[in-house]
């Protein structure tokens, strides 16, 4: 059992899939425009240490337009217009907590509270969604989820949409909670994402297991969240 992401990646880097994946990705960064910026590829792991992970939210691949991807699923830098899926995530938080979210799409505040915002693919070519789909990232995702599943501390796995739900087969520990629904994309949000109550259900589970709840409301509205 691993204790931190450094240990995890030391072991992963020895594996054939990772060596091949790294070579492909490095070649892409040398010859194409690739997102996120290289120094942010592992941002989710840097901001959310292994022993502090309480919640995992699975995304798909990074945003493929300029100045959006920052290595955290669904997140965009401050002052960037909110992408449609993130708008709907904020709407659901607003509905659950009766607040008005600040229109700042940087989800670092969640990552620092123990929410691992993990894309199943960590890189993408500019304007080419899913362009790195067959690079081997599925092996990395599997190993990340298996490592988290084996950790005895109770966790919540939030899986929105078909792609995210595909990792359910790696989660076996009965201590963990799995929450599933439709994806927050405008194409599916009204088919089961809205009113899924996942943010409140997550906090109920964390509190029941003696863990600190997640403050889902971004900075401007912290006091409103506390008064819920």
Q: Could you list the active site residues?
A: 61
How far are the Cα atoms of 2, 57, 142 from residue 164, in angstroms, in the given order? 23, 9, 12
Q: How far apart are CA 35 and CA 110, in angstroms?
A: 21
* CB-based contacts of 42, cutoff 8 Å, min separation 6: 9, 71, 122
């Amino acid at each position: 059992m691993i204790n931190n992401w450094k240990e995890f990646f030391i072991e992963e880097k020895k594996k054939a899939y990772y060596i091949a994946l790294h070579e492909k990705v490095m070649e892409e960064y040398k010859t194409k425009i690739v997102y996120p910026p290289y120094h942010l590829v592992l941002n989710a792991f840097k901001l959310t240490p292994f022993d502090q992970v309480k919640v995992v939210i699975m995304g798909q691949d990074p945003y493929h337009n300029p100045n959006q991807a920052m290595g955290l699923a669904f997140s965009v830098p401050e002052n960037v217009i909110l992408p449609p899926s993130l708008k709907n995530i904020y709407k659901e938080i607003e509905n659950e907590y009766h607040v008005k979210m600040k229109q700042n799409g940087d989800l670092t505040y969640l990552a620092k509270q123990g929410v691992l915002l993990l894309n199943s693919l960590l890189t993408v070519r500019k304007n080419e969604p899913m362009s790195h789909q067959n690079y081997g990232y599925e092996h990395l995702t599997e190993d990340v989820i298996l490592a988290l599943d084996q950790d005895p501390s109770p966790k919540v796995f939030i899986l929105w949409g078909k792609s995210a739900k595909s990792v359910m087969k790696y989660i076996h520990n009965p201590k963990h909670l799995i929450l599933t629904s439709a994806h927050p994309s405008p194409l599916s949000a009204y088919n089961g994402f809205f009113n899924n109550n996942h943010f409140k259900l997550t906090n109920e589970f964390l509190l029941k297991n003696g863990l600190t709840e997640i403050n889902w409301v971004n900075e401007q509205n912290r006091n409103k969240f506390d008064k819920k």
